């Protein structure tokens, strides 16, 4: 419906607007109101005091309007705050959820980080290994990798059913009987990690090519079947191997790698395992075999620094 406006407001310049304005401007005589007041019995003093009432009325209405505006503004502010809080909660929830997912993913990667970092430094010389031994021990024993691995393994022993768990339990029960590992447990804080039995494998019986190929295959398979339990076990195995190597027990370190490779396989950290193996082989003086592993490893994707060192190793041993 079209809104109506008075002529004198909508069309003040037209004749009808001027007529209406003229009609609105007409006023009675000055004494008319006083005469009406006298007829109504209103005294002059009351009429004079009415001006005060009149003057107060607009302020009262203004105060009322101000209070109404204040109430409206307050309710509007409360509504706005409520909306903001709701939006903030939603955004906060999304951020927290995203952060939790990120932290969880990071924590899944974290157990392997020190070991990977250590492995990624490349093959170290026996002298370096001896020098870094005191640093490696706390790194492997006191880091939360061990705690995470312990928690994962204990959870796995409790939750996981099937032949694998049974096999792990059996291996864990056999652990104290392994003579080579007793010395490891002596300088590392006691771990309830099931350590695979270290077989006495000769160098001739091992086929490096087959191992690396199976590693590549398992690496691709591991990307599909990534799990914290697997990562923790591999990290623990690599830490043990590096620790043994740092203690000068290269044969035991190699046995640790071979045993774990044969029993479980390095599915998540195959490259790191190969690097540790190369280090151990270099320590043992088997440079040609180390170079063979290096060439195989160079076929896969590696960081530039690792690749450079492995290339040097492969060239020198060719």
Partner 1 sequence: MINVLREAADDMQEQSSHGAEDFPQLTENQALRLASMLKNHFDSTWRVGRRMGLSSAEAEENAQEAFAVAARKLGIIWQGREREFLLGVAVRLASNTRRRLSTRMERLSNNQNEQEVRDNLPHAEELVVRKQQRDVLDQILQSMSVVFREVLTLYEIEGLTLPEIAEALEIPEGTATSRLRRARVNFCEKLERVKKHNARLREGT
Contact between 24 and partner 1 by CB under 8 A: the answer reads: yes
Cβ closest to partner 1, residue 64 vs residue 142:
64
Cβ closest to partner 1, residue 29 vs residue 318:
29
Cβ closest to partner 1, residue 49 vs residue 107:
49
Q: Which range touches partner 1 (CB under 8 A), out of 14-22, 169-177, 231-239, 301-309?
A: 14-22
Write down the least CB distance from residue 83 to partner 1, Å.
Answer: 34
By CB under 8 A, what part of segment 52-81 binds partner 1?
53-54, 57
Write down the least CB distance from residue 56 to partner 1, Å.
Answer: 9
Contact between 264 and partner 1 by CB under 8 A: the answer reads: no
Contact between 13 and partner 1 by CB under 8 A: the answer reads: no
Write down the least CB distance from residue 81 to partner 1, Å.
Answer: 34
Contact between 32 and partner 1 by CB under 8 A: the answer reads: yes
Contact between 20 and partner 1 by CB under 8 A: the answer reads: yes
Task: Please state the three-class secondary structure of the chain as a single string.
Answer: CCCCCCHHHHCCCCHHHHHHHHHHHCCCCCCHHHHHHHHHCCCHHHHHHHHHHHHHHHHHHHHHHHHHHHHHHHHHHHHHHHHHHHHHHHHHHHHHHHHHHHHHHHHHHHHHHHHHHHHHCCCCCHHHHHHHHHHHHHHHHCCHHHHHHHHHHHHHHHHCCCHHHHHHHHHHHHHHHCHHHHHHHHHCCCCCCCCCCCCCCCCCCCCHHHHHHHHHHHHHHHHHCCCHHHHHHHHHHHHHHHHHHHCCCHHHHHHHHHHHHHHCCCCCCHHHHHHHHHHHHHHHCCHHHHHHHHHHHHCCCCCHHHHHHHHHHHHHHC
> Residues binding partner 1: what is the number (CB under 8 A)?
36
Contact between 36 and partner 1 by CB under 8 A: the answer reads: yes
Q: Which residues bind partner 1 (CB under 8 A)?
A: 1, 4, 6-8, 15-16, 18-20, 22-29, 32-33, 35-37, 39-43, 46-47, 49-51, 53-54, 57
């Amino acid at each position: 419906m079209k809104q109506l406006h008075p002529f004198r407001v909508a069309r003040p310049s037209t004749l009808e607007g001027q007529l209406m304005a003229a009609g609105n401007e007409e006023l009675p005589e000055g004494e008319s109101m006083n005469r009406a007041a006298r007829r109504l019995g209103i005294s002059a003093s009351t009429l004079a005091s009415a001006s005060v009432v009149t003057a107060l009325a607009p302020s009262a209405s203004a105060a009322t309007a101000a209070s109404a505006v204040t109430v409206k503004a307050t309710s509007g502010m409360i509504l706005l705050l409520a909306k903001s809080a709701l939006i903030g909660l939603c955004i906060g929830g999304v951020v927290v959820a995203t952060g939790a997912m990120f932290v969880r993913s990071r924590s899944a990667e974290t157990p392997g980080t020190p070991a990977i970092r250590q492995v990624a430094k490349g093959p170290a010389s026996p002298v370096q290994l001896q020098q870094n031994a005191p640093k490696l021990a706390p790194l492997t024993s006191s880091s939360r990798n061990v705690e995470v691995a312990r928690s994962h393994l204990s959870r796995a022993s409790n939750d996981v059913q099937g032949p694998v768990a049974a096999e792990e339990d059996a291996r864990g029960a056999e652990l104290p009987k392994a003579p080579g590992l007793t010395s490891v447990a002596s300088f590392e804080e006691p771990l309830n990690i099931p350590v695979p039995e270290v077989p006495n494998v000769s160098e001739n019986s091992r086929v490096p090519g087959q191992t690396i190929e199976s590693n590549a295959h398992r690496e691709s398979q591991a990307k599909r079947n990534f799990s914290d339990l697997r990562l923790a076990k591999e990290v623990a195995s690599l830490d043990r191997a590096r620790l043994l190597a740092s203690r000068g027990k290269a044969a035991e370190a190699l046995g640790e790698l071979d045993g774990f490779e044969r029993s479980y396989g390095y599915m998540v950290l195959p490259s790191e395992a190969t690097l540790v193996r190369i280090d151990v082989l270099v320590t043992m003086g088997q440079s040609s075999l180390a170079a063979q592993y290096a060439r195989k490893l160079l076929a896969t994707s590696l960081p530039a620094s690792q690749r450079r060192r492995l290339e040097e190793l492969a060239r020198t041993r060719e």
